């Protein structure tokens, strides 16, 4: 049942990304071009996502467990630190340059467009590089 729920959720998420055109880099870049030919339509998509997720989190906080019986693991608020700010900045730069963020890039793999595959491969290489750098830093005692 859990696998089917995950499959349904993933398909629904992917369809939502495709319908909202979040998988279209030109649409995303037009949204980010606030000084030029700005397309504000994705702001409505993000606003709707924020409303839906806020309601879901409010409901989840009142439940002792998830719908399928697993314990709920809601994130705790994190302090702003250099790693968080740098990560957000890198995310924004990557999103602006590539027109993709991780979710839409993964959903866009189904299109077979080579640029999506290149972006996703680059994203995964970045994740692996990050893990390697922080593992080396941890081993050498450079990170707390």
Domain locations in the chain as residue ranges: 2-139
Measured at the alpha carbon of residue 5, what is the angle toward residues 1 and 104, in degrees to the nearest 5? 150
Q: Is the pTM of this model over 0.75?
A: no
pLDDT tens, residue order, the chain (144 aa):
889 988 998 899 888 888 888 888 888 888 888 888 889 988 898 899 999 999 998 998 888 888 888 888 877 887 888 888 988 898 888 888 888 888 888 888 888 889 889 999 998 998 899 888 888 777 776 655
Distances (CA, A) of 13 to 8, 64, 70, 73: 8, 25, 21, 20
Distances (CA, A) of 57 to 1, 38, 49, 66, 73: 22, 31, 12, 11, 11
CA distance linking residue 104 with residue 17, whole number of Å: 6
């Amino acid at each position: 049942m859990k696998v089917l729920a995950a499959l349904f959720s993933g398909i629904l998420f992917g369809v939502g990304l495709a319908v909202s055109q979040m998988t279209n880099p030109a649409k995303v870049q037009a949204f980010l071009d606030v000084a030029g030919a700005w397309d504000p339509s994705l702001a409505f998509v993000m606003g709707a996502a924020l409303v839906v997720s806020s309601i879901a989190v409010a409901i989840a906080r009142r439940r002792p467990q998830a719908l399928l019986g697993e314990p709920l693991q809601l994130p705790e608020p994190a302090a702003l630190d250099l790693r968080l700010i740098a990560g957000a900045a890198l995310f924004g730069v990557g999103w602006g340059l590539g027109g993709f963020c991780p979710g839409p890039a993964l959903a866009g793999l189904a299109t077979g467009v080579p640029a999506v595959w290149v972006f996703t491969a680059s994203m995964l290489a970045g994740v692996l590089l990050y893990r390697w750098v922080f593992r080396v830093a941890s081993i050498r005692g450079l990170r707390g």
